[in-house]
């Protein structure tokens, strides 16, 4: 009798391995929470920011996915735009939520966090979402802006990454 595994048994074994490893990832995310590693958020260059984020920046910086982990210096009265991109497919997708400023007495919200939808980005068709917000620096000091990236599929949703930037506001240049 030949002990060679059949195609069906190999596929079953591969499926079992995938299910176990996928379950392990879910357990790790539930136990340890989202990753704070900014390198995981910048796997490709940022696309051009949407007009709402540029307008909210009012000449100041527009922070995007690849801004994660960095420090930005602005002067009092300067604007900051924010454009965090995500996309979705038929049965899975990523999205942003829970955008917060650690000290709202330093950054005033001028454009509340909102989701925008585009069906094209840089000439590529698809289902693209931008989480857009705008702030104005109103007081000298430092604060953090954070947001959470959530991944959803047919098994549910879970936070996967935390996006954080540090903002230092100076009295004047």
In the chain, domain spans = 1-32, 37-170
Mean pLDDT of the chain: 86
Interval 16-27: pLDDT, tens: 675 565 555 545
Interval 115-157: pLDDT, tens: 998 888 778 888 888 999 999 999 999 999 999 999 998 889 9
Kindly state the average pLDDT of the residues 78-84.
97
Query: What would the CATH number be for the domain defined by 37-170?
Result: 2.60.40.2020
First to last CA, the chain: 82
What pLDDT is stored for residue 141 in this prediction? 98
Measured between alpha carbons, how far is 112 from 105 in angstroms, rounded to an integer? 15
Measured between alpha carbons, how far is 93 from 96 in angstroms, rounded to an integer? 11
Q: Is the pLDDT of residue 28 over 60?
A: no
């Amino acid at each position: 009798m030949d002990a060679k595994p059949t195609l069906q048994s190999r596929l079953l074994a591969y499926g079992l391995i995938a299910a176990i490893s996928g379950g392990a990832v879910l357990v790790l995310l539930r136990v340890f929470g989202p990753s704070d590693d900014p390198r995981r958020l910048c796997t490709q260059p940022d696309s051009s920011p949407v007009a709402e984020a540029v307008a909210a920046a009012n000449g100041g910086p527009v922070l995007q996915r690849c801004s994660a982990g960095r420090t930005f210096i602005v002067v009092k009265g300067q604007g900051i735009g924010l454009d965090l991109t995500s996309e979705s497919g038929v049965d899975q997708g990523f999205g942003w939520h829970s955008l917060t400023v650690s000290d709202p007495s330093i950054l005033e919200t001028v454009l509340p966090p909102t989701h925008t939808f585009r069906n094209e980005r840089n000439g590529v068709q698809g289902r693209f979402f931008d989480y857009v917000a705008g702030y104005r620096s109103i007081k000298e000091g430092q604060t953090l802006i954070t947001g959470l990236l959530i991944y959803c599929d047919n098994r549910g949703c879970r936070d996967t990454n935390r996006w954080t930037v540090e903002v230092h506001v100076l009295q004047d240049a």
